[in-house]
Amino acid sequence: MTKNIQTTPPHRLNKHIRDQLKRINSSAFVDVMARQFDYDPKYVLMNNVKPLSSSKRLVARAVTVKYLPARPDLDASKPRNEKSPEYVAFELAGPGDVIVMDSMETSLMSIGGDIKFLRLKQRLVDGLVCDGGVRDMGSVEKYNIGIWAYGKTSNLGTKIGTPFSTNEPIKVDGILVMPGDYIVADNDGVVVIPRIIAKEVAQAAIEYSELEEWIKHKLDKENLSPGKYYPPDKNTYEEFRKSKRQFRD
């Protein structure tokens, strides 16, 4: 039998903050979590998941789906039709959410295509992230859903894996994703922000993005080597914060 369904934790980041974060590169989140929160990139960065669509940067709350290897007895016990775990996830998700699928780290595991993902378009879901393959990208691309995956495929996924559970902890590309965690994704990579520190990381990432712009301005104005201010240390932060206070005053 497939496992019971859990609900999705409420948003910790409001839409205004999420929109601000969409202007920040995924690399900034990796830097902030490593330097200020002691989250090594090996805990949060999906190295092998790549963008398949040309959508904008993603900042969204995770609704998770776990797949297990296909086997006749497991397949027979799976809830049918709209009660299948992936469809339950689709109905839980909406604007500000991303479907995240543990697809067993193989692009042969097709997790869906044109017909399935029409529902994501209807539900206004922001995106989908998986360590499997996606079918029908020529059609899915038109749905304006951000898609990050191992690759495209024409394979029949039901012969590889079976949707097993909705909104439980999963492993995607070797990275833990908990329901309600935030996913940041762009052309450079996919990063997981643990829900428990999401607000603090958001504030730090916004400041870090401002700091980087300040550093670029300083280097351009002073015609100096990046090593003068980068990577930023305590003194760099202090000078940056002092300049912000002076500007406000």
Maximum separation of any 2 CA atoms in the chain, in Å: 70
The confidence score (pLDDT) of residue 1 equals 46
Q: Are residues 122 and 99 both part of a single domain?
A: yes
C-alpha separations of 190 from 29, 44, 137, 195 in Å: 10, 8, 19, 15
1 located within any domain = no
9 lies in some domain: no
Residue 6: inside a domain = no
168 and 244 within one domain: no
At 54 the pLDDT is 82
Q: How many domains does the chain have?
A: 2
Say if residue 85 is in the same domain as residue 177.
yes
Kindly give, in sequence order, each residue whose CB lies less than 8 Å from that of residue 239, ignoring residues fewer than 6 positions away.
none
Report the distance separating Cα 175 and Cα 202, nearest Å: 20
Q: Torsions phi, psi of 74, nearest 5?
A: -70, -45
- Say yes or no: 164 and 191 in one domain: yes
Same domain assignment for residues 172 and 59: yes
Q: Are 129 and 193 in contact (CB under 8 A)?
A: no
Q: Which of 175, 195, 215 is the last residue of a domain?
A: 195
136 and 237, same domain (yes or no): no
Residues 49 and 159 in one domain: yes
Q: Tell me, yes or no, whether 47 lies in a domain.
A: yes
Answer yes or no: do 97 and 55 share one domain: yes
Domain carrying residue 124: 15-195
Looking at the fold, whether 162 and 116 belong to one and the same domain comes out as yes
> What residue ranges of the chain have pLDDT lower than 50?
1
Residue 187 lies in a domain: yes
